[in-house]
Amino acid sequence: MDGAIEEECRAISILEEPGTTCWGCGFHILVPSFTTVFKCGWCGAITNQNPRRHGIGHPRWKYVRDRCLVVVLLIFMLLVICGGVWAVYPVVFSISFSHGVIHCTVTTILSVSTIASFGFAAFRSPGAPPIIPWGGYPLVGKGWLENYSFCVYCSKPKPPRTHHCRSCGMCVLDMDHHCPFIGNCVGAANHRSFIIFLASAVISTIYACIMSIYAGYRVWPALALLSLHHVTKPGADSGLKVVKDVVVAFLNSAVLLSPRDIVLVYLFIASFSVEIGLSVLLWQQLRYIYKGKTYLSQLSSPEDDNIGDGGCRNLLRFFGCPYFASTFQTFFSRKNVMTSEAGNCKRRD
């Protein structure tokens, strides 16, 4: 080993005490005794001399729990789809055959997209880190392990923005979070499928709410008991009177509900409640993607909200549109330059 390599690999230290060995390249590095975390000057690996190894817990129990939640979610989606087919289709086809065909097409598209994206997110690998040589100088070049750390659970290098999931028992690249409802982590390989699943599920629940209200309006026996003459009288009192009459009529006719009406009530309540939760989660996910972060990176640095690193180009790049992302960035950079030049000209005038 020549002297130049030794100078780059040796950490500057005031205390001439026995050092430690870099896990990445195997070089001996002199560091103070009180230093617990240091970075190698040759390979760039980060070594933690006192890593915290939390208990693994019960991975088998977590696996069974996640799979049970996946089955429950699949059953719920099938109940919503089958219930909507059984309760809504006769009403829509009784109105018009063309309306029924349109409703059948939309339902098929939404159902297939939701279940397919859910399957990709749940049963696809979230993204394992790439295999990279490590452990000795002949195998590791200069800067090959830049900002890499060592996973004490997997006993292998861990790239930046990678976290170890104790539920899945593996390191996940660009890990966002572990979702028990899909029984899988959300990482670099299935994050896009997870976002598509959320968007498709939100659209599907909105459509289910609309169709359940429409079908209920056609077949609900309570609507025949309503008197809407209050609508012709403007004012807050008339609106409250209408709402009161609707609620009273619904409660009075609850005993007259047919099985189809009960399914419509279930379809509306279930779809509306799920829609609210999934909409909040989808907005949160898109907000993190806009910032160029993940949920875990946001937790580690909640105050580091650099607007310069965020933008719509992150959304375009995330959904596989690198050309539009670069075009978007070039357009706005030129626009900012033109704006600054126009401002300078006004100041000169």
Burial environment of residue 197 by CB neighbours within 10 A (0 to 12, 13 to 18, 19 or more): buried
| Type of residue found at 314 | N
Long-range contacts of 276-282 (CB under 8 A, 24+ apart): 278/198, 278/201, 278/202, 278/205, 279/202, 281/198, 282/195, 282/198, 282/199, 282/202
Active site residues: 179
The residues with which 29 forms a beta bridge, in sequence order, are 20
User: Are 259 and 83 spatial neighbours (Cβ–Cβ below 8 Å)?
Assistant: no
Burial environment of residue 183 by CB neighbours within 10 A (0 to 12, 13 to 18, 19 or more): buried
User: Are 30 and 11 spatial neighbours (Cβ–Cβ below 8 Å)?
Assistant: yes
User: Using CA atoms, how far apart are residues 137 and 43, in angstroms rounded to an integer?
Assistant: 9
The residues with which 172 forms a beta bridge, in sequence order, are 163
Buried-exposed string 122-147: b where 16+ CB fall within 10 A, e elsewhere? beeebbebeeeebeebeebeeebbee
Residue keyed to tokens 């949920």: 295
User: Using CA atoms, how far apart are residues 127 and 176, in angstroms rounded to an integer?
Assistant: 11
- Residue 111: CB partners within 8 Å, gap ≥ 6? 77, 81, 204
